[in-house]
Amino acid sequence: MDPVPVVFCPSCGSGEADAFCPRCGQRIRGRLDTSEVLVQFASGLTNVEHGLFHTLRELTLRPGKMLRGYLAGRTVRLVPPATLLFLAVGLYFMLFSVLDVGRQVMPAVAASDPAALASNARLIAAWERHGRWLQILQIPLLALAWRLFLGSRVRYAECFVFGCYVLAYVQILTLASLAAAGISQAAKIAVSGVINLATYAYVAWAGRGTFELAWWGATWRILLPLVLTQSVVGAAFVVFGKLMQ
């Protein structure tokens, strides 16, 4: 019998590699060629699309069931929570700049007072510059608040994943209010009011399903920590914005 040629894994150097490396999962292939690149490009595109479409559909139709599944280890078909969050926050702030939402919302705050107007303009500029980090950094705080309110039957990490998925979805919902800001002031106020209510209802619904709570439990164990954390983070941002001026 001919000895099987030893294939070394190009990633970790293990000598047991076959079609895949059993130690690190690296796929073994020959020298890169065009067909390989085309296959990778196509599969990368469809993998991301399938995963994204599936994840967004599940988050729309049955977020509690999806999240319970994720926490139980059924993760293959889902876009990872942090990836979805970065994607949603990135898209939101890109549209915020492209649609020039900052300038659209400014006249509503204090049209008669030039000093207040200038101060608001700086706040909106700060939001455009630093808002994305705020949106992401609030997740560990929120997870802590949820962990405290939900008690020891849940883990901090589970609250963290819940926060990533749910806030990413909410960020996608608020894209609609950005678009409405371009229409008219009245449309903006109406749409953002409806979206705010829908957002809170959604988070409570998702939390109810994920952590198997009653409606009342979801209201105070999920929504109260959310409102508290967002108030603290929002106030800190305004204070920070004023201090920077």
**Closest CB 42 distance from Zn ion, rounded Å:** 25
Q: What's the rounded Cα separation, in Å, for the pair 122 and 40?
A: 45
Nearer to Zn ion, 10 or 90 (CB): 10
User: How many residues form the binding site for Zn ion (CB under 5 A)?
Assistant: 8
Residue 7 in contact with Zn ion, rule: CB under 5 A: no
Nearer to Zn ion, 1 or 4 (CB): 4
Residue 23 in contact with Zn ion, rule: CB under 5 A: yes
**Closest CB 14 distance from Zn ion, rounded Å:** 5
Nearer to Zn ion, 28 or 187 (CB): 28
Cα angle 79, 166, 157; round to 5:
80
Q: What's the rounded Cα separation, in Å, for the pair 33 and 23?
A: 25
Residue 14 in contact with Zn ion, rule: CB under 5 A: yes
**Closest CB 12 distance from Zn ion, rounded Å:** 3
Q: Map residue 60 onto helix, strand or coil.
A: helix
Percentage helix, strand, coil for the chain under 3-state DSSP, each rounded to 5: 75, 0, 25
Which of 106, 87, 108 has the alpha carbon at shortest distance from 164? Answer: 87
What does the binding site for Zn ion look like in residue numbers (CB under 5 A)?
9, 11-12, 14, 21, 23-24, 26
